Amino acid sequence: MTVKERTRQPDTTRPFDSAEGAARKRQAIGQATDSAAEGGAGRFLVSTAVNSSTPAKRKNRRIAADRAQTLIRQTCGDLKAAKRIVCCGRFPTGNGRPTIAKTRDNRAYASGLQTCGSVWACVACSFKIRMKRAIEIAFAVAVHLAKGGGVLHLVVTMPHRKEDELADLWSMLSDCWGHVTSGGGWQAFRDRHGVIGYIRAAEVTHGWSSGWHPHCHVLLFTDKPMSPVVNAEAYYELRRAVRERWCKRMASKYGRTMSEEFGIRVEPVKADEAEGSGSYLTKVGYELAMIDTKIGREGGHRTPFAIAYDASETGDMADINLFREWVTASHRKRSITWSQGLRAHFGLGADKSDEELAAEDAGGETVAEFDPELWKQIANRRDGARARLLCAFEVDDGRNGVQAAVDYLTGLGYSIRTSYAGSVPVIGLHPPNQPKP
């Protein structure tokens, strides 16, 4: 079969029909397999522990995220693009109660609450959505490399000025990438280089001197590995072809010239059988999915959530207005896009919406429920109380998590009563009409 036939036809040989294929799939999402019984596929392809950290660091991140989330809700809730964020994490779904559950690794989280599904404007929903998408991306990369394919990481950027509106820049970015990946030229490019498909993620940063800077991160899947060392001629030809198509569109339609040397960066994604490669592959998926949530301030540039974090610390109206612009411009934009047929190629099925992913429960054991009024008061606080409360449920100091949580709330000035719904404690206010402390 020619490269042209192979790339145009859908892959009907689902890679997980065999016992070994099923083991590979479980490996890639971090589940153990029996190497003797399942085709020798016992090594984890993807590690789920790549983002592990100390409890203290995790607590600090949670508190910062909770404070930023409260600020976003209070300063952007009037925007049409963020109207659902007002209720997110504050009110229960239906007539139920907010629930605290713990996973097997002792992580406490709140469930039974309304979600907004905003990958751009909601810290909590964005993290949930992107972590689940990261697993899928890492899984696809791991399986593809294990089968002898190649993956290239492209960073596609564009010229920008401080006075440019974010909405205009984003439209230019989408149009130019659409030009690169459409028409007969793209099909000929795919055929010539054995391109199976791509995963694209948008990233946006802001610099005080240069303004908004949207750009794309792309994982390009090829039928053979490419690098300056392996298959060098094909690698440089592919890199040159992408740059030419991108730069030509940017210049001819928008009058923005850019260096072909720096407009696009292409690097091979490497993997081998060495210890730790599973963590590396997980990192590939995690970074592609989470790129615009990093709290980085490199070179004077900040991601949108870094702007929100800073605003929650300082109350700076300039930062608040920047984030409001971000919320409006990013509304209804796709964060991560798989090229047509690529998900089916890896047997992943239909893509779920951001709203569906945000609403999914993480599982785990229910350890407590809350009266809605008490939970709403906690969620409305701007001091990170909700994050500290969840951390209290994770204590390992001789108390059980419920008692530690009650002690924490009592220390904030709440008069707490505890009842039971079956064997599950229900934490509420006493008396029920107690005002906020």
Is 421 within 8 Å of 433 (Cβ atoms)?
no
Closest CA to 51 of 358, 338, 286: 286
131 and 115 share one domain = no
Inform me whether the pLDDT recorded for 208 exceeds 70: yes
pLDDT tens across 346-367, in order? 999 899 999 999 999 878 889 9
Domain membership of residue 159 (yes or no) is yes
Task: Give the separation between CA 434 and CA 437, rounded to whole angstroms.
Answer: 9
pLDDT at 373: 93
Mean pLDDT of 364-371: 92
Distance separating the N- and C-terminal Cα atoms of the chain? 72
Residues 6+ apart with CB under 8 A from 123: 65, 68, 69, 72, 293, 305, 308
165 and 235 share one domain = yes
Is 167 within 8 Å of 35 (Cβ atoms)?
no
Window from 248-257, 279-288, 302-311, 392-401 with minimum mean pLDDT: 279-288
Domain membership of residue 23 (yes or no) is no
Task: Give the separation between CA 372 and CA 378, rounded to whole angstroms.
Answer: 10
Is 213 within 8 Å of 207 (Cβ atoms)?
yes
Mean pLDDT of 256-262: 73
Domain membership of residue 146 (yes or no) is yes
412-421 CB contacts, 8 Å cutoff, 24+ apart: 412/385, 412/437, 413/437, 414/374, 414/377, 421/97, 421/369
Domain membership of residue 377 (yes or no) is yes
Other beta carbons less than 10 A from residue 233's beta carbon:
8
Closest CA to 98 of 88, 84, 85, 106: 88
Is 241 within 8 Å of 187 (Cβ atoms)?
no
Inform me whether the pLDDT recorded for 273 exceeds 70: no
Task: Give the separation between CA 376 and CA 370, rounded to whole angstroms.
Answer: 10
291 and 365 share one domain = no
Residue 421 lies in domain: 57-121+360-429
Task: Pull the structure tokens for residue 314.
Answer: 């300082």
Question: Would you list the DSSP string of 104-170?
Answer: TTS-EEEESB-----TTT-HHHHHHHHHHHHHHHHHHHHHHHHTT-EEEEEEE-----TT--HHHHH
Does an H or E element contain 417, and which?
A: strand 416-421
Q: Which of 353, 387, 407 is the last residue of a domain?
A: 353
Mean pLDDT of 250-255: 91
Mean pLDDT of 327-334: 91
Task: Give the separation between CA 50 and CA 282, rounded to whole angstroms.
Answer: 7
Angular region, 327: left φ>0, alpha ψ -120 to 50, beta rest: alpha
pLDDT at 262: 65
345 and 399 share one domain = no
Window from 260-269, 287-296, 386-395, 396-405 with minimum mean pLDDT: 287-296
pLDDT tens across 160-199, in order? 888 899 999 999 999 999 999 998 888 998 999 999 999 9
Task: Give the separation between CA 88 and CA 111, rounded to whole angstroms.
Answer: 11
Angle at 164 between CA 162 and CA 169, to 5 degrees: 125
Inform me whether the pLDDT recorded for 29 exceeds 70: no
pLDDT at 299: 60
Domain membership of residue 39 (yes or no) is no
pLDDT at 362: 78
pLDDT at 432: 59
Portion of the chain with pLDDT greater than 90, in percent: 47
Domain membership of residue 230 (yes or no) is yes
201 and 240 share one domain = yes
Task: Estimate to the nearest angstrom the gap between the alpha carbon of 312 and the chain centroid.
Answer: 22
Residues 6+ apart with CB under 8 A from 338: 197, 198, 199, 351
Higher pLDDT, 284 or 398: 284
334 and 418 share one domain = no
254 and 339 share one domain = yes
pLDDT at 42: 39
Inform me whether the pLDDT recorded for 27 exceeds 50: no
Average pLDDT, the chain: 82
134 and 108 share one domain = no
219 and 242 share one domain = yes
Inform me whether the pLDDT recorded for 149 exceeds 50: yes
CA dihedral sign, ordered 379, 385, 387, 392: negative
Domain membership of residue 15 (yes or no) is no
Q: How confident is the model at residue 219 (pLDDT cuts 50, 70, 90)?
A: very high
274 and 414 share one domain = no
Measured between alpha carbons, how far is residue 21 from residues 38, 103, 136, 147, 392 in Å? 8, 28, 16, 11, 41
Q: Provide the number of structural domains found in the chain.
A: 2
197 and 261 share one domain = yes
Portion of the chain with pLDDT greater than 70, in percent: 80
282 and 384 share one domain = no
Inform me whether the pLDDT recorded for 14 exceeds 50: no
Angle at 310 between CA 304 and CA 316, to 5 degrees: 105
Domain membership of residue 268 (yes or no) is yes
Closest CA to 65 of 282, 312, 374: 312
Inform me whether the pLDDT recorded for 11 exceeds 70: no
Closest CA to 219 of 45, 342, 44, 347: 342
